[in-house]
Amino acid sequence: MKVSIIVPVYNAEKYLDKCVESITKQTEEDIEILLIDDDSTDSSGRMCEEWANKDSRIRVFHIENIGVSNARNQGIKYSNSPYIMFVDSDDWIRKDMVECLLKNIEESKSQAVFCNYITVRDGEEIPCEGILEYKVYRSDEVAKIISNMFGGGRYYSSIWRGIYEREVIENSKIYFRDLKFAEDLVFNLEYLLNCNRVKIIKDELYYYRVNSTSALQSLKNKVDEIQKVPYEIYSLITKYNCLEKYSVEMLSELSLTVKRLFDINNKYSNFKVNAANFRKWNFKEIEKYSNNDRISKMYFQRKWIKLYVYLWIEKIKNHIHRK
């Protein structure tokens, strides 16, 4: 088998058939499909078994519901192929996605290949915006892809748009952190920090489904998880001795985190209730770079009222601009 495709499954009965069918009908047939049932409470577990009975390339694992990061880690553990891909159970892929990514990673001798995707929202298909040049990024050029991941997820922080080398994952001991938010960004960051050859292609191969729930609403119960992300990023870029190289990106992510918490607290609770959490963050090593970013500068100087007012003004300006 050339490629292992890992699909975490949790209460996905509404979309699972479309997802799995799109994988089983791939033009590249030398694949294995790992359905990781994360202790679903609907019929997803049974549906996984039914699919395994239809296709011998499918293996099903029923695990304790700890979260999507654990499900993906289990998928990596049980997979057998030299290349690994990830597909979310409410999405689907173009029939030649595996063939296209596999061909590109083998011919370019890259450690990863990322494609474009289509966002599906309420039946409307929206192509993603092309940000970086379509080519092979070598050695120091990989930093361009890494920089693009910060400050809002951008376009290369999602794991489902790529193909990965098992050897890189195993040799560098890369795994999904115990996060319920931005876990794929953190995984991709560490993976790319271990790459010296990455290819980006123009082909739109993945269909990413967005439900009608607002982004803010989906985040309101993840405040604690959102606060973990800058810590994880900071720990990685210090581990790989590249804090100086990615200091601007680090601050961009910190600023985005502050904005997210402000928006959530402003809409669903009193901002002051969670203001104390801001004070717990302690990025002493990166504080010297705070002059590059207004929000982080106010944060580091502990100017909480000034920061609060500034975020409110930004919110009003953005509202006026949209009109």
Using only C-alpha atoms, the chain has a radius of gyration, in whole angstroms, of: 20
Pick from 35-49, 77-91, 238-252, 273-287: least confident: 273-287
Amino acid sitting at position 186: V
What is the model's pTM?
Answer: 0.92
| Higher-scoring residue by pLDDT: 276, 256 | 256
> Could you read off the pLDDT of 17-43 as tens digits, one per residue?
999 999 999 999 999 999 999 999 999
- Across the strands, what pairs with 197? 138
Q: Is 161 or 279 the better-scoring residue by pLDDT?
A: 161
Cite the DSSP H helix spans in the chain: 16-24, 44-54, 68-78, 97-108, 142-148, 166-171, 183-193, 215-219, 223-239, 247-268, 271-280, 294-300, 304-322
Mean pLDDT of 274-286: 71
Q: According to the model, what pLDDT value does residue 284 have?
A: 75
Ranking 97-106, 176-185, 195-204 by mean pLDDT, the lowest is 176-185
- Per 3-state DSSP, the chain is made up of helix, strand and coil in percentages (nearest 5) of 50, 20, 30
Q: Which of 45-54, 61-70, 124-133, 278-287 has the lowest mean pLDDT?
A: 278-287
- What is the per-residue pLDDT for 149? 87
Phi, psi of 215 (to 5 degrees): -60, -40
Dihedral sign, CA of 212, 182, 164, 174?
A: negative
User: What is the mean predicted confidence (pLDDT) over 220-242?
Assistant: 88
- Reference 58, options 43, 41, 91, 36; nearest CA is 36
Instruction: Give residue 294's pLDDT.
Output: 85
User: Which class for 304: exposed (0-12), middle (13-18), buried (19 or more C-beta within 10 A)?
Assistant: middle
CA distance readout (Å), 131 to 17, 101, 134, 147, 222: 32, 19, 9, 12, 29
Answer whether residue 99 shows pLDDT above 80: yes
Q: Would strands 124-127 and 58-62 be described as parallel, antiparallel, or unpaired?
A: unpaired
What are the beta bridge partners of residue 99? none
| Average pLDDT score over residue span 290-298 | 81
Q: What is the pLDDT of residue 94?
A: 98
Structure token pair of residue 229 = 């992300």
Over residues 238-252, mean pLDDT: 90
Q: Torsion angle, CA of 199/161/116/220, rounded to 10 degrees?
A: -130
What's the mean per-residue pLDDT of the chain? 89
Q: Is the pLDDT of residue 205 over 80?
A: yes
Note the pLDDT of residue 144.
93
pLDDT attached to residue 126:
92
